[in-house]
Chains A and B, each alone.
Chain A
């Protein structure tokens, strides 16, 4: 065992085999992870480092408080808006500003929309490839995948053997093209992948379904905030005016917008209920041992 004392006061066990993963991918930003494993492959020491610094805290000094949200928003474009909302709240707290009830509701809807969106994107497009093996999905029997789909989520309409066969054929041609794109150099022969082929095919199919669907969830924020990523916020409330039935109602938040938001919320709930949660539970089932 060798102990290293770092300049910032940590003592690290630096024995055994050193494993460095840099860059850590499928995250926002830049990260390095470094571990030491002993002869039994047990991690004895782990260090993670954020390897990027922009100095937004320095840049913010001397700026107008009403503008600050736009700067802090650029901390992250994946959890977009979160840092902006907190900035706006901090300014309001400092100045003792109470915001209108409707503004608070709109902010909450925007933030919850992000929460739903990010759960999907994190699970399928960032995290899933640690559990799901798209190459193994080529071995699946589409009929078995269809049966699995109907078992784990009976109310999801896209569950026919033909549907899964179609996706599998596309995937097969993609793999056979030799240009694997984002799946290139993956760890597809690693025995740590435990899903049976039919579960892999189901999960890969939903990776694609979720990629198509996630863009629609964020339309809720586009209606309130004008664009997404990085919608607009405002110290003192929200910028989108409400005019449900008065003159010039089309210039504000009107019934058309509210209906669309309501419909998007319903669609999101359906997707989460029929696809995301059943997938999460199904994948967990195979890894819980």
Chain B
């Protein structure tokens, strides 16, 4: 017998009344009208836990580590009550043949009905020999699992963009999932970040389970609900940027007061992610709050856009949004070449500051 989401909630002591309340809260939290409540309830009453195969290619496991840090929902509840995490070599009990058999069993039983979650990416050079699982290239395992899945979640910057192993000169030709030659044409949702925020990961899962579809994606395949705004747009230090109050040295008075880290190399103005709103580890903090500039880890190719400590220029001050979209598109790499412009911009800012004081 296969348990539904509703069964799971009931056996955890949740009454039908509370269950329906949960459904209406879910509907309102997601901005849906009351008409959606019965649909959510019906979906949860009848759905078995959806099987998930979570494969690992060239990666560092930081996505899995981030996932288990989720505070709401708890990773425990996702794994025990929401999905059926049938394959994830970081936590699964089985190893070797018994582990690999699960992939075939899942394909047989749930052909076209499981989610393929990918952490990391496959190397294409040397026929994929830089990442071997069970004597075969990960590339084969990935393509095989993709052929039979319902949809693909590309966890993190590795699966979404390539990340560190794809940084110049990309010795193994590590390639993000959507660019793998011959990969099945399945819906892919990218959840970039190195790693992605834990609660963003679990929110993506709960959204998919609740509505049986992906959330709205941007043209790069990322969920709009988390990746449509820059760190800079919602940064609590933004008023200091607008006021021209910048940290100039790591241990200066401005650093202690929490001024803007733009001049220290912050990539917040060009990075689309939810760090400054959702924040990390249960909403506790995020890099800028802890005094370090954003390194732009959810952006495509962020490793090759110049030093993390070289600041992006061409970011207009005083909330002038006319140029903001251009800034979003501009890569920090272009900016590196403009070292000479830096001095000029700083001079203008100093003049502005001076002007303010006078």
Contact = CB atoms under 8 A, between A and B. Distances in A.
Interface stretch (B168-176, B222-230, B326-334, B341-349): B168-176
A122 B241 CA distance: 43
Given A173-B3, A211-B76, A243-B256, A29 B61 contact: yes
B251 A237 contact: yes
B80 to A, nearest CB: 6
Interface stretch (B29-37, B66-74, B143-151, B180-188): B66-74
Contact of A25 (B60, B76, B89): B89
A215 B295 CA distance: 23
B319 interface: no
B132 A237 contact: no
Nearest to A28: B61
A215 B61 contact: no
Contact of A248 (B8, B171, B257, B287): B257
Contacts of A107: none
Contacts of B62: 74, 77-78, 80, 229-230
B160 interface: no
A74 B157 CA distance: 11
Contact of B95 (A24, A55, A76): A24
Interface string B121-153: 001000000111111001000000000000000
B58 A222 contact: no
B91 A226 contact: no
A236 B250 contact: yes
Given A51-B133, A178-B1, 10 more contacts: A59-B165, A74-B164, A125-B68, A185-B94, A211-B75, A226-B287, A229-B65, A229-B69, A230-B297, A239-B292
16 contacts: A20-B96, A23-B96, A54-B171, A55-B172, A58-B171, A66-B307, A66-B308, A70-B295, A74-B163, A80-B65, A182-B92, A185-B99, A208-B76, A226-B280, A227-B197, A230-B62
Interface of B: 1-3, 7-8, 11-12, 48-49, 51, 56, 58-66, 68-71, 74-76, 79-80, 83-86, 88-96, 98-102, 123, 130-135, 138, 163-165, 167-172, 174, 194-195, 197-198, 237, 250-251, 255-259, 275, 280-282, 284-292, 295, 297, 303, 307-309
Smallest CB-CB A-B distances: 5 pairs: A251-B258, A77-B62, A248-B257, A55-B171, A226-B287
